[in-house]
Chains A and B, each alone.
Chain A
Amino acid sequence: MRAITFDKDLPAKIDAEQLKRETGFDVSVQSGGYVERNGVREEIAPSVTFHVPFDEEIGTLEDKLAAHVAEEKPQPDENPERAALLKLLDDPEVIAKINKLKSTKI
């Protein structure tokens, strides 16, 4: 077995178990942080390490990792009422009506 690490342009959060299911290989994920070696501190970039047989193609792993990262998109707002309200607040006409109401003496 050998360890192949990728550390370029990765998000801080990657689901290791899902990536293991997708690739079939054991995975280690480093979410970033720092290492202090003999008093010298260095930042650690997020990285993914695959533990694979010696004959595994690196290009195949790169493709699978890229596909996995592409799926890690931000989730849409799951509360439809909140999403509708936020959309309304982007409407200039609605804002104008709210401001008019705020200035109206009851």
Chain B
Amino acid sequence: MASLIEGALATHSVVSVTGIINTTSTSYINYTSASVAATARAGDVVLLIGNMRVSASGASVRTMMQFTEDASVVGQPSSYVAYRTDTGGEDGTIANFEIHAPSAGAHTYRLQWKNSTGTCYSAGAYLIALMLRES
């Protein structure tokens, strides 16, 4: 890992979304506008960093987020469990980090989210795809 970082070049794509969004979906769906495009060369590694501010329509509602690359899930999800009812979308933060070896070519990375019941709300999110390659 050290040899990779020492000689690395990096390209990045970043998207930041602001505005109240909500969903009733209990299966993963795309978070509106939270997508970035990045092109990988053979041997590249992508570091995905994502974050969303959330609240929910009731206590104990669980909101979950995950990354996707094109149509495939990348890594593990992260979650937040609401402690109260709030529609402002800023009671808690779900953050996620993944490192992944993409195939060569153009890819689209997205944030997806879902809830366990009722409605979950979000006031904003960001997604960064940092492409690392050996110089």
Contact = CB atoms under 8 A, between A and B. Distances in A.
B14 A16 contact: no
Given A26-B29, A30-B32, A44-B32, A35 B17 contact: yes
A44 B119 CA distance: 21
Contacts of B13: 37-38
Contacts, number: 77
A30 B19 contact: yes
A51 B29 contact: yes
Interface centre among A28, A31, A49 (most CB of B within 10 A): A28
B39 interface: no
A17 B24 contact: yes
Contact size class for A? 20 to 34
A26 B16 contact: no
B46 to A, nearest CB: 16
A34 B13 CA distance: 17
Contacts of B15: 35-38
- Tell me what chain A mostly uses at the interface: helix, strand, loop, or mixed: strand
B126 to A, nearest CB: 9
Contacts of B19: 30-34, 44
- Tell me what chain B mostly uses at the interface: helix, strand, loop, or mixed: strand
B15 to A, nearest CB: 5
A21 to B, nearest CB: 9
A3 interface: yes
A37 B14 contact: yes
A31 B27 contact: no
B87 to A, nearest CB: 10
Contacts of B21: 28-31, 33
22 contacts: A16-B119, A26-B27, A27-B23, A28-B21, A28-B23, A28-B25, A29-B23, A30-B20, A30-B21, A30-B32, A32-B19, A33-B20, A33-B21, A34-B19, A35-B17, A36-B15, A38-B14, A38-B15, A38-B36, A44-B19, A44-B33, A51-B29
Given A30-B19, A33-B124, A49-B32, 4 more contacts: A16-B23, A28-B29, A37-B14, A37-B36
Closest 8 CB pairs of A and B: A33-B19, A26-B25, A28-B23, A35-B33, A31-B20, A36-B16, A20-B24, A37-B15
Interface of A: 1, 3, 16-17, 20, 26-38, 44, 47, 49, 51
